[in-house]
A and B are shown apart, each in its own frame.
Chain A
């Protein structure tokens, strides 16, 4: 408690620098093992009561510092109360998973996510590999599939953390989020690179078609043949472009949805600071 009422919270004249309610709520927030928005609601409830208790103490003639100390004494939740609240509000799954240590949880989470991903890949890979899509496709499809699988794995893992396990603490919530835009961008770049290289090859590897495409529209029979070859080339790589856009948009969409959820959790996390 002394830590909560330390001198840094007050200026030289005893004026308040950090609201005592904020210090107490921060302390409770760090120890209360609950997901959002339940945690934010509990903290908001405590905040309003704390402020009332402090005002009552000031009205009784105590100084602000004394009032803060008295209110802190009354409102600090002990370990038993915190455990009771966690027991009341946590889901059965969360309670069950809390029985295991953090490393065991991480190991199990990774195993479940990898197994789920492998099942999806095995089930999904067969129709894709046996179908005409991949046979007509360029080798650039392979890195695209790897990036798509990585994006899917990451999205499944984040979904599990945010929606199933409801692990909403500050350190873990944003872990891995930066890889979504990177994967999405890499997938787009790879797709376009594959597309341009395929077009370059369909022009005999000389780059003529790029030049021709930019400079003039075909009018001679020779250029008409070239145009046919170009269209054929474009059609051949269209499946690569489809896969590229599918993965780019899919990863970006997963990123957007997860980011939205994280932002809402973060807003709730700081609701009681307002």
Chain B
């Protein structure tokens, strides 16, 4: 059982992180650091991102066409990459949100019964 759980957990964490990033981008475009701060403050520090893990997720989502990265010049030498949600990403986010709600409702129901 514990082996199964250790195999499922990283997948679940990855999926959860992706959903958090997509939902953080649904209002406006943000850069990596801003995204991490936004998720941290909105979740009242329940979710905290180590930036090192953020970039592979952002690049994966960009490659899948769920978010779009665009470079913006800030000053003479500084360039910054901003991410925004694509229409496909918005659709995916809606599907994920529905999935999460069902998932959480079922887990709550089951654990409530158990307790």
Contact = CB atoms under 8 A, between A and B. Distances in A.
Interface of A: 41-42, 44-46, 48-49, 51-53, 74-78, 80-81, 84-85, 88-89, 274
A85 B59 contact: yes
A49 B56 contact: no
B76 to A, nearest CB: 10
Contacts, number: 54
- Residues of B in contact with A, size category: 10 to 19
Contacts of A49: 31-33, 51
A88 B52 contact: no
Interface of B: 31-33, 50-53, 55-56, 59-60, 63, 74, 77-81
B51 A74 contact: yes
A53 B51 contact: yes
Contact of B55 (A52, A53, A81, A274): A81
Contacts of B31: 45, 48-49
Contact of A48 (B56, B59, B60, B80): B80
A77 B59 contact: no
A99 to B, nearest CB: 21
Contacts of B51: 46, 49, 53, 74-75
A51 B77 CA distance: 13
A274 B77 contact: yes
A84 B56 contact: yes
A81 B77 CA distance: 27
Considering the complex of A and B, which 5 residue pairs feature the smallest CB-CB distances, nearest first? A84-B56, A49-B33, A77-B52, A48-B80, A45-B81
14 contacts: A44-B79, A45-B32, A45-B80, A46-B51, A48-B31, A48-B78, A48-B79, A49-B31, A76-B52, A80-B53, A81-B52, A81-B53, A81-B55, A88-B63
B52 A78 contact: yes
A135 to B, nearest CB: 59
Contacts of A84: 56, 60
A74 B40 CA distance: 13
A234 to B, nearest CB: 59
Nearest to B32: A49
A120 to B, nearest CB: 38
Contacts of B52: 74-78, 81
Nearest to A88: B59
A77 B32 CA distance: 14
A71 B112 CA distance: 41
B13 to A, nearest CB: 12
Most buried by A among B31, B52, B60: B52
Nearest to A51: B78
A52 B77 CA distance: 15
A81 B32 CA distance: 15
B32 A85 contact: no
A84 B63 CA distance: 13
A45 B55 contact: yes
Contacts of B32: 45-46, 49
B79 A42 contact: no
B24 to A, nearest CB: 15
A41 to B, nearest CB: 8
B78 A42 contact: no
A51 B79 CA distance: 12
A70 B51 CA distance: 12
A46 B58 CA distance: 12
A36 to B, nearest CB: 16
Nearest to A46: B55
A48 B33 CA distance: 9
Contacts of B78: 48, 51
Contacts of A44: 79, 81
